[in-house]
């Protein structure tokens, strides 16, 4: 990240109080609700890409070395169908280690993505892919390619 990114982050989080509850740098066009409900691993900075929207009302866990692309949505809670001011309870979103969420992907409440799950650009993830080691794409998401588990695990051990 450039010095300009950190200066802009400082202005928006500390002066304008936008995303003030986060303890990491956020792109000024990203929005994070309930950042205290986000657990993040090593080298994970949700919202550092532009346009990211995160609602962590029911909790979100993100594993080490996971990348979140621009305009990604992580939505851990839906609104009540009658009273829009209420969030409905759901299981948290769990994202494994070494995952990659492509531009414009949306992950919905209760979804679990296993390690090394690559989410294609524009994908809508409505169900879990707990086994991981795959590329998913589409609306709704489906597996389009399996990854070599041994190759992925060897890569992870090198980090």
CATH of the domain at 106: 2.160.10.10
* pLDDT the model gives residue 139: 97
Residue 11 within a domain: no
* pLDDT the model gives residue 75: 97
What residues are annotated to the active site? 79
Residue 82 within a domain: yes
The reported pTM is 0.92
Upstream peptide bond of 79 is cis (omega within 30 degrees of 0)? no
CA distance 78 to 58: 10
CA distance 123 to 121: 6
Residue 7 within a domain: no
* pLDDT the model gives residue 101: 98
Residue 1 within a domain: no
**Structural domain boundaries, residue 83:** 31-157
pLDDT tens, N- to C-terminus, the chain (159 residues): 788 888 888 888 888 888 888 989 999 999 999 999 999 999 999 999 999 999 999 999 999 999 999 999 999 998 888 998 888 889 999 999 999 999 999 999 999 999 999 999 999 999 999 999 999 999 999 999 999 999 999 999 998
């Amino acid at each position: 990240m450039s010095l300009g990114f950190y200066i802009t982050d400082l202005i928006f989080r500390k002066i304008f109080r936008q995303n003030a509850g986060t303890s990491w740098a956020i792109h000024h066009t990203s929005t994070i609700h309930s950042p205290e409900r986000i657990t993040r691993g090593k080298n994970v900075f949700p919202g550092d890409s532009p346009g990211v929207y995160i609602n962590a009302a029911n909790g979100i866990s993100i594993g080490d070395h996971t990348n979140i692309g621009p305009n990604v949505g992580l939505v851990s809670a839906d609104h009540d169908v009658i009273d829009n001011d209420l969030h409905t309870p759901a299981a948290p979103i769990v994202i494994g280690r070494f995952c990659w969420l492509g531009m414009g992907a949306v992950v919905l409440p209760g979804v679990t993505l296993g390690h090394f799950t690559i989410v294609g650009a524009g994908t809508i993830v409505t169900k879990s892919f707990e086994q991981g080691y795959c590329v998913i794409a589409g609306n709704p998401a489906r597996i389009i390619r399996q990854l070599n588990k041994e190759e992925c695990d060897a890569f992870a051990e090198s980090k």
